[in-house]
Amino acid sequence: MADALKIGIAGLGTVGSSLVRILGERANELARTCGRPITITAVSARDKSRDRGVDLSAIQWFDSAVDMANSADIDVFVELMGGAEGAADQSVRAALSRGLHVVTANKALLARCGVELAVMAEDKGALLNYEAAVAGGIPVIKALRESLTGNTVSRVYGIMNGTCNYILTRMEKEGLSFEACLKEAQRLGYAEADPTFDIEGNDTAHKLAILTTLAFGTQIAADEIYLEGISNISIEDIQAAADLGYRIKLLGVALRTDTGIEQRVHPTMVPHDSVIAQVDGVTNAVAIESDILGELLMVGPGAGGNATASAVLGDIADIAKSRPGAQRVPVLGNPAASLAPYTRAQMQSHEGGYFIRLTVLDRAGVFADVATRMADNGISLESIVQRAKGSEADSGSKTIILVTHATTEQSIRKAVDAIKSGTYLAGEPQVIRIERPKAF
C-alpha cells in the first residue's frame, strides 16, 4: 500500500468537524478504496478551546491557516473557512505555491479568482478540487468536468440555494409571509443573521458563474450575471402562481446563445407538474442540457455538515487515488490558459414568457390601457385576468395578472415603464419569468 496522504484542514466549523469525524470513522474503508491511508496531520481554526465533538489531540494545531499552508507537513490543503479574501485567499495561494493539492468548498473565492488559482495549480502540477462549492453533495462539478466530456452543453440551470428554496416552500405550503419564513429559517440555522447574500441571489450567482465556466469553456464572470433575489416575492405572487399551475423557485440559468453566454439569477415560475417544481425545502437541483446525453437532472442535499463533507471527502479521495505524473483533469474543465473571454449575451427572447402582477386603482379603462401598453411594445398576451377580493375591494383597488407569450426582456421593461407612467398604479409591478423545462 502506498504511503499515507497527509492532509491539513483549515476551518473547523460544521463542515470541517464533520470531515474530521468521517475520516476517523471510515479510515479503514478509505484506505482500501483509495489504495493508501488518509491521515489528518494538521488543522487550523480561530478558537483552539472550542469543543467540536472530535478528538484533535494527536493533530498539529496552527492558529493561522496561512502558516499551516506555508509550513505544515501535508500533501493536501483543505480550505473550509469561506470568504473571497483574507485568510482563505492567502492560504490557498500559499498552498498552491508549494505545489500542494487543494480542496475547497469556497464558491466566493472561486467566483472571484478561480482562473488565477487554476493557472497556479496547473503550473505546479497540483490538483484543485471544489465539488462542495456548488450544490453541496450533488456531484455536478465532476459531471461537467469529467463525465460529460465530448458533450456540447446548451443550458445549465437549477435551484442552488437551500435558504431561498426553504423560504419559498414554506410560503406556498403554509401561506406565511416572506418575513415570517425568513425568521424561521434563521431560527433553524438555514439563514444567517444577515441573510442578504442568500436571499438577494449572490450565493446562487457565485455557483452559477462556476458552472458556466465548466459548461461553456469561458472565463469566470460572476459580475456579468443578471441578478434578482426573492425578497420582493409576496404571498400574493405565490398564490397567483398556484392558480395558474406554477410554483415559484429561485433559479440560476446559464445558456449559450448566438451573441454570447446569458447568465441570470431570479425568481422563476415553473410548471407545477415539472420535476424541478417538486424540489422542496433546503434541497438543491441542477439540470444540464447537452447534445449527446440530452437532459440530466441531479437532485440532493445542497448544504449541511454531512452533505458538504461528503463532497469534500470525494475530492480528497480522488487525490488519494491519483498518481504522480498522471494526466491531470484541468481545474475548470479546459486548461485555464485556453478559456475563452466571456461575452455577455443580450437577454434574448424568453421562451417561457412572463408573469406580471399589477395592483391598480379600480377605475374604468385601466384594463384596456394595460392591454394597449403591452400591444404597443409587441407583447402578445396568453391571458389577462383582473380580480378584486377582500381588502383590495374595500380599498378601491384590484389586481391585474398578465401572462405573456415569448417576448424580449427589453419589451417587457418598456411596457412596464409605460404602465408605471400612468396614474392608476397602487403598488410596484411584479415581473417574474416563466421557465418551461424541456424534460423536467
Catalytic residues: 207
Identify the DSSP state of 387.
E
The CA angle 175-179-185, to the nearest 5 degrees, is 90
Angle between helical axes of 27-34 and 14-25 (0-180°, round to 10): 80
C-alpha cell at 260: 454570447
Identify the DSSP state of 1.
-
Residue type for 261, please?
I
Report the distance separating Cα 408 and Cα 412, nearest Å.
6
Q: Can you say whether the dihedral through the CA atoms of 224, 212, 356, 231 is positive or negative?
A: negative
| β-strand pairing of 38-44 with 5-10 | parallel
Report the distance separating Cα 100 and Cα 79, nearest Å.
12
3-state helix, strand, coil in the chain (%, to 5): 40, 25, 35
The CA angle 99-342-224, to the nearest 5 degrees, is 100
Residue 15: CB atoms within 10 Å:
26
Angle between helical axes of 107-124 and 202-216 (0-180°, round to 10): 30
Residue 437: CB atoms within 10 Å:
19
Report the distance separating Cα 278 and Cα 197, nearest Å.
24
Residue for grid cell 496547473: 122
C-alpha cell at 189: 440555522
CA separation, residue 226 to residues 5, 90, 263, 279 (Å):
42, 29, 6, 23
C-alpha cell at 100: 500542494
Q: How many CA atoms lie within 13 A of 59 on its CB side?
A: 24
Phi-psi region of 390 (alpha: psi -120 to 50; beta: other; left: phi over 0): left
